[in-house]
Amino acid sequence: MGSNPMGLIVALDSPDRGFEGLVEDLCGVVDGFKLGLPLLMGRGPGYAAELRSRCREGIWIADLKLADIGHVMKLTTSLVVDHVDAVIAHGFVGVKGALGELKEFLESRGRKLIVVASMSHPGAEEVYDKALPLILDAIEELGPWGVVAPATRPHVTTSIRERLGPRVAIVSPGVGAQGAEPGAALCAGADYEIVGRLIVSSPDPRSAALAVREAQRRRLASC
Ligand code: XMP
């Protein structure tokens, strides 16, 4: 297992609501925030700075799900790079002329690259899982700070941990709304679980986040 035995990152995706109060409520309770494309496109990239001004703690991730040539991925990333700690890109685009250039750009700005190794939805079995060995080859060559692995299919997360070893951070979405139980991905080798709707759609997000933390703790105790 990696460095953080019980990480919790909250996904903020909806462009239709302001998250300022929620970020203030969850600051210090969770380990970070992941800002989705609908939010960043709807509110504008500067909204990342607005939200971050409400909580200087934790890791802030722009989930841009980049999949383009390096030049364009850098242009896209440059819109948010000053406001976040890390950016997510797809793994299937490969290293040369793509992820390698993006990683160099991010590191020159003191930022981290997180690469999608597989996904949490059922369709990931159709293509992503079949390509997993090749994607992991690329990730090994690249050496990003982190990878995304699915909480919904813990055996995939375990195989990614076994292949990449302890140094890479594994962030794992799919907890709650997509069906995985809190703590399942941590038991499978992830460092952080990403939780969106289960927390942000709750009438009391702070209590919901504390409940997820408690469920993670209980699950980890019986891994
Ligand atoms: P919910 O509301 O389902 O939100 O808890 C989940 C969040 O995680 C993102 N997501 C993924 N990101 N690979 C990724 O890189 C995945 O397999 C994956 N599955 C979910 C989703 O965009 C949302 O922000």
- The 10s digit of each residue's pLDDT in 29-61 is 999 999 999 999 999 999 999 999 999 999 999
| Atom 8 of ligand 1, nearest CA residue | 173
The CA R_g of the chain, rounded to the nearest whole Å, is 16
Provide the token pair at 204. 């009391």
H-assigned helices in the chain: 20-26, 37-43, 46-52, 70-78, 100-108, 128-142, 154-164, 184-188, 197-200, 205-221
Site to probe by mutation for ligand 1, drawn from 9, 120, 121 as the one with most ligand atoms within 8 Å of Cβ, is 120
Q: Dump pLDDT digits (tens) for 183-200.
A: 999 999 999 999 999 999
Residue with tokens 């035995």: 5
Determine contact, residues 40/66, Cβ cutoff 8 Å: no
Determine contact, residues 169/3, Cβ cutoff 8 Å: yes
What percentage of the chain has pLDDT greater than the value 90? 97
195 CB near ligand 1 (under 6 Å)? yes
Q: Indicate whether this complex's ipTM tops 0.90.
A: yes
Residues 6+ apart with CB under 8 A from 32: 7, 9, 10, 58, 59, 60, 61, 85, 192
174 CB near ligand 1 (under 6 Å)? yes
φ/ψ of 108, rounded to 5, equals -65, -20
CA distances from 138 to 119, 125, 207 (A): 16, 19, 40
112 is catalytic: no
| Atom 5 of ligand 1, nearest CA residue | 196
Q: Dump pLDDT digits (tens) for 91-150.
A: 999 999 999 999 999 999 999 999 999 999 999 999 999 999 999 999 999 999 999 999
Q: Say how many Å lie between the CA of residue 194 and the centre of ligand 1.
A: 7
- Using alpha carbons, select from 208, 190, 207 the residue that is nearest to residue 198: 208
φ/ψ of 161, rounded to 5, equals -60, -45
Residue with tokens 């019986």: 222
Q: Say how many Å lie between the CA of residue 174 and the centre of ligand 1.
A: 6
Q: Dump pLDDT digits (tens) for 55-91.
A: 999 999 999 999 999 999 999 999 999 999 999 999 9
